[in-house]
Every structure is written in structure tokens, then in C-alpha cells.
């Protein structure tokens, strides 16, 4: 997960949400949305390289439908192809301390997705 600053200029890695069930994850996201006063949610949609939607994308859509039914803010999808690869390259360039690769890569990938959205100037603040 990533959050933008209140002005919607800069996205930063925020948190990795790992829970046993979708219900727990949705509850955690809702708590963050309320605490951080989020105005819109941008969800990375894992498309195949040819642009089609595969099994993982359908899982993301189903999860997002659950979340959307419980909140009153807009939820939009953004293509997330190659964002994890971009995150890994970025981390290699800055040569940070070793941490859990998956956790770090996912948080940075979320920030990359959100930053791209922010740069399009659509809305602020976001999660």
C-alpha cells in the first residue's frame, strides 16, 4: 500500500497488508482510509503482457468489489504491469539495506502505481 501527501503530489510506500482472509484485509484498509482521510483508492490491476485479464486480475476485481461495497469513496483501477520490476530496479539503484524483498518490492510497486496516477492529475489524496 502507498499513500500520497495531502496535496496529491508525491506517493510513498506506506504498508504491506497481509491477513488470513479478505475480510480482515478489507477491515484493515477501511481503518487506514478513515484514519488517513483518504479521498480515493487506486488499485493496481495485474494485466497480462498482452493486456488481457487473467486469474489474478479477477481475484483483484473480486476483492475490490468487496471493498467498494463497504466504503463511500471512489475506487479506480490502474494497470500495474512491470511495476514490481521497476521497484526492484529502483531499489538496486539506491542500494538500501537488505530487507524482505517481497515486502519492499510490493510497497514500492504500490508507490509507483500511485505516483503514475498522481502525475495524471486525477485526484488527491489517494491510497
| Residues 69-127 pLDDT 10s | 999 999 999 887 655 545 555 555 555 555 554 556 777 778 888 888 887 775 545 55
For residue 66, the enclosing domain spans 2-119
Look at residue 3 in the predicted model and tell me its pLDDT: 93
Instruction: Give domain status of residue 77, yes or no.
Output: yes
Does residue 93 fall inside a structural domain? yes
Q: Compute the residue count for the chain.
A: 127
| DSSP class of 2 | E
Answer yes or no: are the C-beta atoms of 91 and 104 closer than 8 Å.
yes
Residue 127 belongs to some domain of the structure: no
Q: Does 124 reside within a domain?
A: no
In a domain, 27, yes or no: yes
pLDDT in tens, 48-81: 667 677 788 899 899 999 999 999 999 999 887 6
Predicted model pTM: 0.70
Q: Work out how many domains the chain is built from and give that number.
A: 1
- Structural domain contains residue 9: yes
User: 126 in a domain, yes or no?
Assistant: no
Residue 64 inside a domain? The answer is: yes
CATH number of residue 46's parent domain: 3.30.420.140
Amino acid at each position: 500500500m502507498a499513500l500520497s501527501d495531502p496535496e496529491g503530489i508525491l506517493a510513498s510506500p506506506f504498508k504491506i497488508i497481509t491477513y488470513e482472509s479478505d475480510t480482515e484485509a478489507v477491515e484493515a484498509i477501511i481503518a487506514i482510509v478513515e484514519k488517513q482521510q483518504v479521498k480515493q483508492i487506486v488499485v493496481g490491476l495485474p494485466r497480462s503482457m498482452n493486456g488481457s485479464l487473467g486469474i489474478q486480475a479477477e481475484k483483484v476485481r473480486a476483492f475490490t468489489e468487496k471493498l467498494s461495497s463497504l466504503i463511500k469513496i471512489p475506487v479506480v483501477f490502474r494497470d500495474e504491469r512491470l511495476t514490481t520490476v521497476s521497484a526492484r530496479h529502483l531499489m538496486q539503484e539506491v542500494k538500501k539495506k537488505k530487507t524482505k524483498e517481497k515486502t519492499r518490492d510490493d510497497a514500492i510497486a504500490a508507490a509507483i502505481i500511485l505516483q503514475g496516477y498522481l502525475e495524471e492529475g486525477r485526484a488527491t489524496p489517494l491510497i
